[in-house]
């Protein structure tokens, strides 16, 4: 599994070189084989004999962080969506994106995102999951802001990153608490210890943190505001991130931890309530929009709300229906985003007020849109997969029970009505999209270019997705038996033997569907008469304004804070850094009762050592009162050479020699440098500055001395020196312990130190050459 996760990331490293050939061959033709190969690899596992797979690779075992991956029915469903839709998106982008675009950047970001999503759905270690989770936020930020020359793209990218990373950090807190409570970082291990979690007093806090992460990523109310602004991304990105993958990550998180939290009543209530509110609000707001992608964005919000509510219901049927709709939503929403992009590509506009009558010019595109929109609307037709999961949704709303008189009882009584209301507007925006674009009056003056049929290459991907709509609609049990039953079993822990049929008779769920169609038709037909209600609800009230004010306020106060300490004075910077270090370190030691001093095992102090230390103290204090640069440097050198003498007394010749060499070189460099600097001048505030420096110096020296004494006195851990003494010969193969430490025990430290010095040398050389040739710049 690890290789399939890293394969897109490895390919991303090769894309910049391949992008140089984009004028001869489109970069997407190289990239498409990556998700296709991953899809084929995992598609082999579909079937009745599916087996759960686990994979373990050591990473940071000391922290309990290993690359543990778990493939069950749930992760298989999402893996197939990520790789399958990813393949179609890359194919679509080949015909959608011009070769004049920065294709290298686009495909690097896309492959990075693909790796992140695969890592999220396959990770079993919570900290590895979090790492990939935040990588989805970063890579989606880059994809949404791909057209960075547009202000709206930059705004949408920043907005999505701030909201989703806020949720990610919240989720991280919940995952840390879970690992502390259970003593394991494995998700499967946590599920096995669900009783311990449910008995923990921190359970409400854990659920709150994790649900914030899920709600922000899956655009649930009130965190949904980032999704419409993310539509500024190129259409292939919208089709991939915001219909099939990224926005489904929150749903995956809820489903993955469902076996633990579903036994807690407030989890059921919160997820159900937020989901149903999101369904109603998203579908209601979708009918208001005039941009095709904005309609689909709010449509996605409403559909995600519907799926989230079903996961909240917690029944066996609701879990199955939620997963079924995740699959169906990916097919019809992915195709509709591609169709919206095709319309924009061939007409030059996505404004539905300017569109109309395109059936005569784009008949094939219209035919594909018909299947997508009608499936999204849940029209009762046997070849539309959306109807089956919508019908199951209605069915699940009728089977939620709770004690009478409680909040849960009131909520579960209201949910069927809210589900119908949300679905009515779902039907309305679906018809609004289809008939508003392809029927009605043709307005030739409104188009930037004469409309014509979409190129065949751009229709292949939506055609395959529409074919999926039809095949799942005609043969729903094939999809159920080979994939969905395993996914549902992974979530609820129960075996499934579910048969899907189109006709069940005139039962309440079917009657609810008929109500949706009839009332939805009336709603969309009379839209011009009632759309003024949007001036009242939401009216001037907008969560976007709340977000903008929060961001503007943070920018204002952070700017004032930054201007306070960014004065341009190196002296002030050092003063702040050292003061913060002193206060933070000593404060932590005091608050944690970490000050412990012991004289056990100390060697006696002789008059020679005291004399050297006294000379060093006098020299250090004398530098403060020196009126000459060179004199101050020479006096300060006494401190360094005195340290070397102490090393000699304590029988550390290697350290003494190193100190002597470094001190000599440092003094020579300082003398060379300070010789060219202005001489020290008396200032009116010199006395205050010296007193401040003296206080900081004494405090910092006292802090370091205290740390050294406490470290020596501590008996919490065994002394590491014993390890070096015992293993320098057997492990490092040397008798000189210091050399073994530097070369073997801390070989990477030494390597990086040498690398830093090499880079510094190259930088100095470049500056010298730049100074010599500055007239030739």
Q: Each residue of 683-709: pLDDT tens digit?
A: 555 677 778 887 888 899 889 888 888
Alpha-carbon distance 232 to 159, whole Å?
A: 12
Q: What is the pLDDT of residue 552?
A: 87
Cis status of the peptide bond prior to 468, with omega within 30 of 0: no
Average pLDDT of every residue of the chain: 88
Q: What is the pLDDT of residue 680?
A: 64
Please report, for residues 64, 285, 735, the alpha-carbon distance to residue 729 in angstroms, rounded to integers and kept in the order given.
30, 73, 6
- Four-point Cα dihedral 685, 686, 692, 697, nearest 10: 170
Alpha-carbon distance 329 to 251, whole Å?
A: 13
Contact (Cβ atoms closer than 8 angstroms) between residue 283 and residue 423 = yes
Q: What is the pLDDT of residue 571?
A: 82
The tokens describing 322, both together, are 């939620």
Higher pLDDT, 647 or 368: 368
Higher pLDDT, 351 or 678: 351
* 130-164: burial string, b at 16+ Cβ within 10 Å, e else: bbbbbbbbbbbbbbbbbeeeeeebebbbbbbbbbb
The set of residues, in sequence order, having a beta carbon less than 8 Å from that of 422 and lying 6+ positions away, is 276, 279, 280, 282, 283, 284, 302, 305, 306
Q: What is the mean pLDDT of residues 500-510?
A: 84
Q: What is the pLDDT of residue 681?
A: 64
Neighbours of 278 (CB within 10 A): 28
Q: Is the pLDDT of residue 316 over 70?
A: yes
Question: What single DSSP character describes residue 467?
Answer: H
Q: Is the pLDDT of residue 720 over 60?
A: yes
Q: What is the pLDDT of residue 306?
A: 96
Q: What is the pLDDT of residue 500?
A: 82
Q: What is the pLDDT of residue 684?
A: 58
Q: Is the pLDDT of residue 776 over 70?
A: no
Closest CA to 314 of 267, 368, 361: 267
Alpha-carbon distance 25 to 99, whole Å?
A: 9
pTM over the 0.95 mark: no
Contact (Cβ atoms closer than 8 angstroms) between residue 225 and residue 547 = yes
Q: What is the mean pLDDT of residues 651-661?
A: 84
Confidence of residue 229 (pLDDT cuts 50, 70, 90): very high
Q: 75-78 contacts: CB < 8 A, separation 24 or more?
A: 75/121, 75/122, 75/490, 76/42, 76/45, 76/46, 76/50, 76/483, 76/486, 76/487, 77/323, 77/326, 77/327, 77/483, 77/484, 77/487, 78/117, 78/121, 78/248, 78/252
Q: What is the pLDDT of residue 686?
A: 66
Percent of the chain at pLDDT above 90?
51
Confidence of residue 49 (pLDDT cuts 50, 70, 90): confident
Q: What is the pLDDT of residues 582-621, one digit of tens each?
A: 999 988 888 887 777 777 767 778 888 889 889 988 888 8
Alpha carbon 273 to its chain's center: 25
Higher pLDDT, 129 or 65: 129
Contact (Cβ atoms closer than 8 angstroms) between residue 223 and residue 167 = yes
Closest CA to 645 of 670, 619, 625: 619
Confidence of residue 33 (pLDDT cuts 50, 70, 90): very high
Could you tell me the end-to-end alpha-carbon distance of the chain, in angstroms, rounded to an integer? 52
Q: What is the pLDDT of residue 777?
A: 45
Alpha carbon 487 to its chain's center: 24
Neighbours of 688 (CB within 10 A): 10
685 exposure class (CB count in 10 Å sphere: 0-12, 13-18, 19+)? exposed
Alpha-carbon distance 749 to 732, whole Å?
A: 16
Q: What is the mean pLDDT of residues 261-273?
A: 92
Q: What is the pLDDT of residues 508-529, one digit of tens each?
A: 999 999 999 999 999 999 998 8
Q: Is the pLDDT of residue 658 over 90?
A: no
């Amino acid at each position: 599994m690890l290789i399939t996760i890293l394969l897109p990331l490895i390919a991303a490293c090769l894309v910049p070189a391949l992008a140089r050939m984009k004028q001869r061959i489109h970069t997407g033709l190289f990239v498409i084989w990556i998700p296709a190969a991953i899809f084929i690899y995992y598609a082999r596992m579909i079937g009745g004999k599916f087996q759960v797979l686990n994979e373990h690779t050591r990473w940071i075992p000391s922290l309990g962080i290993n690359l543990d991956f778990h493939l069950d029915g749930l992760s298989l469903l999402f893996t197939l969506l990520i790789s399958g839709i990813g393949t179609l998106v890359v194919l679509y982008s080949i015909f959608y994106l011009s070769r004049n675009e920065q294709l290298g950047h686009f495909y690097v970001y896309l492959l990075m995102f693909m790796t992140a999503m695969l890592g999220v759905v396959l990770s079993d270690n919570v900290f590895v999951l979090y790492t990939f989770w935040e990588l989805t936020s970063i890579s989606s930020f880059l994809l949404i802001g791909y057209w960075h020359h547009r202000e709206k793209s930059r705004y949408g990218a920043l907005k999505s990153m701030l909201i989703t990373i806020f949720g990610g950090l919240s989720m991280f807190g919940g995952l840390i608490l879970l690992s502390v409570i259970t003593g394991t970082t494995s998700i499967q291990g946590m599920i096995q210890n669900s009783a311990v979690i449910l008995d923990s007093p921190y359970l409400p806090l854990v659920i709150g943190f994790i649900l914030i992460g899920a709600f922000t990523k899956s655009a649930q109310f009130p965190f949904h505001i980032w999704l419409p602004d993310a539509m500024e991304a190129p259409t292939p990105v919208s089709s991939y991130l915001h219909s099939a993958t990224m926005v489904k990550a929150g749903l995956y998180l809820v489903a993955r931890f469902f076996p633990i939290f579903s036994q807690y009543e407030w989890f059921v209530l919160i997820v159900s309530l937020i989901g149903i509110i999101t369904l109603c609000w998203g579908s209601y707001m979708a009918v208001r929009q005039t941009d095709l992608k904005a309609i689909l964005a709010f449509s996605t919000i409403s559909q995600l709300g519907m799926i989230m509510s079903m996961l909240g219901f917690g029944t066996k049927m609701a879990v199955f229906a939620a997963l079924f709709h995740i699959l169906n939503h990916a097919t019809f929403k992915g195709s509709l985003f591609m169709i919206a992009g095709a319309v924009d590509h061939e007409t030059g506009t996505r404004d539905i007020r300017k569109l109309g009558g395109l059936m005569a010019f784009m008949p094939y595109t219209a035919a594909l849109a018909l299947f997508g929109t009608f499936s999204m609307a849940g029209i009762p037709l046997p070849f539309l997969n959306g109807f089956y999961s919508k019908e199951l949704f209605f069915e699940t709303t009728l089977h939620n029970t709770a004690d009478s008189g409680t909040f849960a009882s009131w909520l579960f009584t209201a949910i069927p009505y809210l589900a119908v209301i949300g679905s009515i507007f779902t039907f309305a925006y679906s018809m609004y999209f289809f008939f508003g674009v392809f029927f009605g009056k043709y307005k030739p003056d409104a188009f930037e270019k004469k409309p014509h049929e979409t190129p065949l290459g751009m229709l292949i991907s939506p055609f395959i997705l529409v074919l999926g709509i039809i095949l799942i609609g005609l043969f729903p049990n094939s999809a159920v038996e080979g994939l969905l039953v395993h996914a549902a079993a992974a979530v609820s822990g129960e075996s499934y033997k579910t048969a899907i049929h189109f006709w069940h008779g005139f039962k309440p769920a079917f009657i609810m569907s008929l109500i949706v169609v009839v009332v939805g038709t009336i709603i969309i037909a009379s839209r011009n008469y009632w759309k003024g209600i949007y001036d009242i609800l939401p009216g001037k009230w907008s969560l976007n304004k709340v977000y903008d004010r929060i961001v503007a306020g943070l920018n204002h106060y952070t700017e004032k804070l930054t201007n306070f300490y960014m004065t341009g004075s190196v002296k002030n910077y050092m003063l702040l850094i050292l003061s913060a270090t002193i206060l933070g370190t000593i404060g932590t030691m005091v608050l944690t009762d970490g000050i412990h001093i012991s004289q056990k095992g100390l060697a006696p102090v002789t008059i020679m050592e005291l004399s050297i230390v006294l000379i060093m103290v006098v020299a250090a204090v004398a530098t403060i009162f020196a009126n000459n640069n060179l004199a101050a440097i020479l006096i300060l050198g006494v401190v360094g050479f005195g340290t070397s003498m102490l090393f000699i007394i304590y029988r550390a010749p290697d350290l003494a020699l190193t100190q002597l060499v470094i001190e000599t070189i440092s003094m020579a460099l300082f003398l060379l440098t300070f010789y060219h600097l202005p001489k020290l001048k008396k200032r009116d505030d010199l006395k205050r500055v010296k007193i401040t420096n003296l206080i900081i110096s004494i405090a910092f020296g006292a802090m370091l001395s205290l740390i050294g004494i406490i470290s020596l006195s501590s008996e919490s851990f065994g002394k590491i020196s014993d390890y070096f003494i015992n293993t320098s010969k057997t492990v490092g193969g040397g008798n000189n312990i210091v050399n073994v430490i530097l070369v073997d025990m801390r070989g990477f430290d030494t390597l990086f130190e040498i690398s830093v010095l090499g880079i510094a040398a190259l930088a100095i050389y470049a500056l010298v050459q730049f100074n010599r040739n500055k007239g030739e710049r």
